[in-house]
């Protein structure tokens, strides 16, 4: 078995996924400015996949510097509709704008993972999910956001599929783990390959 396993995230959903899978790990949030990393990537027109990978690597790299010899899992997720990359809504008005833009459209979630040890990138991966939102009326969007409250501000799409957000959709292609932001099957396969978990 390898050294300590650390998830570079404060996300309760990502921690839950690893815990439910029976992994022994610690979780430490990365101390990075995500917007400062994203800004130059956006200016150069980086793809949503590349943005997610760069952020996943940056999170894992920062935590790796604090925990020598540990195996660090960094992850990030971007959401794209055509060429547009979405960010977490700033307020409820912004959340309503997100949902209006996504209404009747199919958008993509791009979930990246990076594994780093002692600053060296051992592996990276991106999984995708496509989600089709049903057509939503302005009145329904208002009522929905009133019900879910500030939880709408906690995700890039202004919805949470594990809650009432599931009501917004007509079709989903992709696995649940990718949607939650941590593609578990490829991650577990790689951890087995690295000898980090029982194979």
As a whole number of Å, the CA-based R_g of the chain is 17
Please state the rounded mean pLDDT for residues 14-40.
94
DSSP assignment string, 106-155: EEEEEEEEEEEETTEEEEEEEEEEEEEEPP--HHHHHHHHHHHGGGGGGS
| Catalytic site positions | 76
- pLDDT tens by residue, 19-28: 999 999 999 9
**Chain segment 44-99, per-residue pLDDT in tens:** 989 999 999 999 999 999 999 999 999 999 999 999 998 888 988 999 999 999 99
pLDDT reported for residue 2: 53
Q: How many residues does the chain have?
A: 199
123, 117, 140, 112: which is closest to 50 by C-alpha?
Answer: 112
Q: Which CATH number fits domain 5-193: 2.120.10.30, 3.20.80.10, 2.40.50.140, 3.90.950.10?
A: 3.90.950.10
């Amino acid at each position: 078995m390898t050294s300590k396993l650390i998830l570079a995230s404060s996300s309760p959903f990502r921690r839950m996924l690893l815990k439910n899978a029976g992994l022994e790990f610690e979780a430490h949030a990365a101390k990075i400015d995500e917007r400062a990393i994203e800004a130059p990537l956006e200016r150069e027109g980086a793809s949503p996949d590349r943005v997610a990978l760069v952020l996943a690597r940056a999170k894992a790299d920062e935590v790796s510097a604090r925990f020598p010899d540990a195996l660090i899992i960094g992850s990030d997720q971007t959401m794209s509709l055509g060429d547009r990359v979405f960010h977490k809504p700033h307020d409820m008005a912004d959340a309503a704008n997100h949902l209006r833009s996504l209404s009747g459209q199919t958008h993509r979630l791009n979930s990246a993972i990076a594994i780093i040890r002692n600053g060296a990138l051992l592996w990276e991966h991106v999984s995708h999910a496509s989600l089709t939102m049903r057509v939503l009326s302005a009145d329904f969007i208002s009522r929905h956001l009133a019900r879910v409250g500030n939880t709408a501000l906690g995700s890039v799409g202004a919805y949470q599929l594990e809650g009432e957000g599931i009501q917004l959709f007509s079709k989903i292609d992709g696995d649940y783990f990718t949607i939650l932001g941590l593609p578990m099957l490829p991650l577990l396969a790689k951890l087995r390959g690295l000898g980090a978990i029982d194979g």
